[in-house]
């Protein structure tokens, strides 16, 4: 075998490995998306309610991966990238209410094949700029034709109000080329507070509605239990039964 053919074989092997490397993250997202869809359907069926508003996902671009590995000062090889860049697969879940966030997180983390690696609660401990979200780094096994790979995925769970703030803050941050004037920073922090107040208000309204629904349910059950049939009607029923 001459050198040229060895090189070609090497390139082919590398390309295959690289594609597999990226594919694993795509599979992790597919697997988690199915899990989330199942939770949504089941929750809707059992509780007549869906705590999830929408779900977005993405695989980090090769440019961003390389930029991050460089920023961390790490060598650029696949095992290093796999172990150190844990947000190559990313899923963002938008929930209706703050309380839903923790419920959805628990429902996912409790699943046997999901391992929670790290949790950052920016709701209990918001970032100084006002950013709020629950971040989970999890590991999930992906079954391929000749191997099983544990893949890291970052799951961000937040309310619509938190997402609204984060999306716009992100845009503003890049528009200003990373040097936001202090007055704007203060304004953004204040806006985060307004978003939080809205979340809390919606949570209170939701709790009130739930209580009204619960009371109605109890009244309905009591009314059913207290339902008394006239003796003539009951007699008719038993007579009919005897006729059968
Ligand atoms: P990264 O190097 O950005 O991944 O930071 P990290 O590894 O310390 O993770 P962290 O959990 O703090 O943030 C990860 C992701 O959360 C980011 O890539 C963003 O998507 C989101 N995020 C974190 N902080 C902010 C913020 O201040 N504003 C917005 N808009 N998004 C944020
Ligand atoms: Mg990260």
Domains of the chain: 3-160 (3.30.460.10)
| Residues flanking ligand 1, CB < 6 Å | 87, 120, 127, 129, 131, 135, 166, 169-170
Ligand number nearest CA of 67 is: 1
Q: What's the whole-number mean pLDDT along residues 33-49?
A: 94
Rounded mean pLDDT of 17-37?
A: 93
Pick the closest to residue 129 from 176, 97, 76 (CA basis): 176
Res. 96 pLDDT band, cuts 50 70 90: very high
Which one of the listed residues 7, 17, 40, 154 is annotated catalytic?
A: 154
Helix (H, G, I), strand (E, B) or coil at 138: strand
* Ligand 1 centroid to residue 28 C-alpha, Å: 20
What share of the chain has pLDDT > 70, as a percent? 95
In whole angstroms, what is the distance from residue 159 CA to residue 46 CA?
22
Find the 85 Cα to ligand 2 centroid distance in Å. 7
Q: Kindly report which listed range (77-81, 104-108, 179-183, 195-199) carries the lowest average pLDDT score.
A: 179-183
- pLDDT greater than 60 at residue 149: yes
pTM above threshold 0.75: yes
Indicate if the pLDDT at residue 56 is higher than 70.
yes
The predicted structure's pLDDT at residue 6: 63
């Amino acid at each position: 075998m001459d050198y040229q053919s060895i090189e070609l074989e090497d390139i082919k092997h590398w390309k295959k490995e690289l594609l597999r490397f990226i594919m694993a993250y795509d599979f992790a997202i597919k697997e988690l998306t199915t899990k989330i869809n199942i939770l949504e359907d089941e929750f809707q069926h059992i509780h007549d309610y869906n705590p999830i508003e929408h779900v977005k996902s993405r695989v980090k671009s090769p440019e961003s991966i390389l930029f991050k590995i460089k920023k961390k000062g790490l060598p650029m090889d696949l095992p290093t990238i796999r172990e150190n860049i844990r947000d190559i697969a990313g899923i963002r879940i938008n929930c209706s209410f703050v309380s839903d966030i923790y419920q959805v997180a628990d429902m996912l983390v409790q699943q046997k094949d999901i391992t929670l690696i790290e949790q950052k609660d920016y709701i209990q401990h918001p970032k100084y700029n006002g950013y709020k979200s629950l971040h989970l780094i999890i590991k999930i096994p992906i079954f391929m034709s000749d191997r099983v790979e544990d893949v890291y995925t970052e799951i961000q769970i937040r309310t619509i109000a938190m997402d609204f703030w984060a999306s716009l803050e992100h845009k503003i941050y890049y528009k200003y080329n990373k040097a936001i004037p202090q007055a704007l920073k203060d304004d953004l922090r204040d806006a985060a507070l307004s978003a939080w107040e809205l979340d809390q208000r919606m949570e209170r309204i939701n709790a009130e509605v739930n209580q009204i629904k619960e009371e109605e349910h109890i009244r309905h059950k009591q009314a059913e239990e207290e339902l008394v049939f006239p003796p003539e009607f009951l007699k008719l029923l038993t007579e009919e039964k005897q006729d059968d």
